[in-house]
Amino acid sequence: MPSSNMITSMFKAPEINPLTYKALSIPILNPINRYGRVFFFSWLGFFVAFLSWFAFPPLLTATIKKDLGMTQADVANSNIVALLATLLMRFICGPLCDKFGPRWVFIGVLLCGAIPTAMAGLVTSPGGLIALRFFVGILGASFVPCQVWTTGWYDKSVVGYANALAAGFGNAGGGVTYFAMPAIFDSLVHDRGLSDHKAWRVAYVVPFIIITAVALGMIFTCDDTPTGKWSERHLGGAETPVIASTNPDYPNSRSALSSGTTTPRVPNEKIDSKITSSSSDSEAQVDSSNGAVIDELIVAPTWRETLQVACSLQTVSLAALYACSFGAELALDGALGSYYSKNFSHMGQTKSGQWAAMFGLLNVVTRPLGGYIADVIYRHTSSVWAKKIWLTFLNVVTGVFLLAIGLTNPHSEATMFGLMAGMAFFLEAANGANFALVPHVYPFANGIVSGTVGAFGNLGGVIFNIVFRYNGTHYERSIWIMGVITLGISVVQSWIRPVPKEAPSAVKH
């Protein structure tokens, strides 16, 4: 796409696939358009969730740790517990998205996580903080409905970029919180005259207000699907047959979409974007970019189907890679401030937190780039394998950078921040490339795949935080251990097909 067209597409209403009503471009800067509005709230919802989910580490380095008398082990335990709730909720949110729709799941997660955020002022002990962070960790599950929601609104030709942009902008909340929470705390102490004891508690009212406002925005300004309510997701354009897939990269879904039967569709006057023309010939039902059947209609899963999809080699492969990339990111988000303070003792809580914030803020560029390049590769090769190779490459290079940082343990700021930036580029790009591949695996059960892969990201975070927990202040040792694990898993899973040859037996029509 020429650069001028790309810039224009950020503002204008997108053209729409007439068969799925999914957008063929991303109106990033047009929240007035219904597709742009969904994209806006997708990333903003995840952003504010991340803002609260990781609001504790910036102040745990010194203020909260001192006020509550926490040990280094207490801090590490609180980081682990913050990920456990997210791990459990991401597994749950996947099937819930397929059953009730991602928008309402998104809203529910935000409101459930906002309440414990506002209750930070009630904490008086290390145990209380650990318990509180468990419930605040619910917010991390917002990633699943974020990705499922954008997948439901954007065509496969751009879904990798759409998912990576939404997640990248959202992940940046982890970086912004390293600036925001110390700034709010400092303002309450120096401008409002509050003691440290009171100021950090009052500071957590701010993310509560923001999260609640965003959830209300989703309720009153967005739709579940391009055809309206979640119960209306079956509705489309003209009444047309859907033919069986001719592309071996795509399994047929369990629904009638794979059997060549007619799926009734009715006109939808809510679509306010330009609809592309289509032929009445049944061949028009095949996506011209990949020759795959349009079998993306999400169906309510049974427990057996959920287990089969979640446990398939394709889902497990992506989940293992995400456990390494996003899991490492989560662990580093909680440890970088302390690591920098140890190696560069002249840095205080605020400055070390600001440098640690750079790691998360790079997500604005790096994660979308990983998804965008995956889409470009796919458009030029029409091969899902090409996306898989790109993803594996990114994870391998990430592992190499983690080894380099851990084994050299830099005490030069230039070397440390240079290596961290290089590692962040490949790690965060891998996160974007992963969810560029997720929508291809089982399109009719995208929530299950997204939830499983997303949950494994948190499982990786828990495992890597345990590594940090038992290595104490030897942060460099923990980092090279992460590098070894990442390299090993990247190589072991590289042979697995990116999509199954056929759907599981329980989900075949």
Which SS3 state, helix, strand or coil, does residue 194 take? Answer: coil
Of 9, 43, 29, which is closest to residue 363 (Cα–Cα)? Answer: 43
**CB distance 344 to 413 below 8 Å:** yes
User: What CATH code is carried by the domain that includes residue 103?
Assistant: 1.20.1250.20
**CB distance 162 to 26 below 8 Å:** yes
Residue 267, in any domain of the structure: no
Radius of gyration (Cα) for the chain, nearest Å?
23
In whole angstroms, how far apart are CA 220 and each of 38, 120, 144, 278, 472?
12, 28, 21, 33, 47
Of 449, 425, 420, which is closest to residue 373 (Cα–Cα)? Answer: 425
Residue 250, in any domain of the structure: no
Residue 238, in any domain of the structure: no
pLDDT at 300: 66
**CB distance 274 to 13 below 8 Å:** yes
Indicate if the pLDDT at residue 366 is higher than 60.
yes
Range of the domain at 72: 3-228+305-507
Residue 241, in any domain of the structure: no
Residue 287, in any domain of the structure: no
**CB distance 367 to 373 below 8 Å:** no
Structurally, how many domains does the chain consist of? Answer: 1
Indicate if the pLDDT at residue 186 is higher than 60.
yes
Residue 266, in any domain of the structure: no
What are the tens digits of pLDDT across the range 145-180?
A: 999 999 999 998 899 999 999 998 988 887 788 788
| Rounded Cα gap, residues 90 and 142, in angstroms | 8
Residue 453, in any domain of the structure: yes
Residues 6+ away with beta carbon under 8 Å from 7: none
Residues 6+ away with beta carbon under 8 Å from 68: 74, 123, 124, 125, 126, 129
pLDDT at 96: 92
Q: Extract the tokens encoding 116.
A: 């414990």
Residue 42, in any domain of the structure: yes
What are the tens digits of pLDDT across the range 100-143?
A: 999 999 999 999 999 999 998 899 999 999 999 999 999 999 99
**Angle at CA 29, nearest 5°, toward 25 and 30?**
80
Among 87-91, 247-251, 319-323, 413-417, the least confident range: 247-251
In whole angstroms, how far apart are CA 279 and each of 15, 244, 284, 285, 287?
16, 17, 6, 9, 12
| Rounded Cα gap, residues 406 and 402, in angstroms | 6
| Rounded Cα gap, residues 272 and 268, in angstroms | 10
In which region does residue 262 sit, left (phi positive, over 0), alpha (psi from -120 to 50) or beta (all else)?
Answer: beta
Write out the H or E segment, with its range, that includes residue 241: strand 240-241
Which position has the token pair 């006020």? Answer: 67
What are the tens digits of pLDDT across the range 404-461?
A: 999 999 999 899 999 999 999 999 999 999 989 998 898 888 888 988 998 999 899 8
Give me the half-sphere count of Cα atoms (radius 13 Å) on the Cβ side of residue 408.
Answer: 16
| Rounded Cα gap, residues 79 and 110, in angstroms | 20
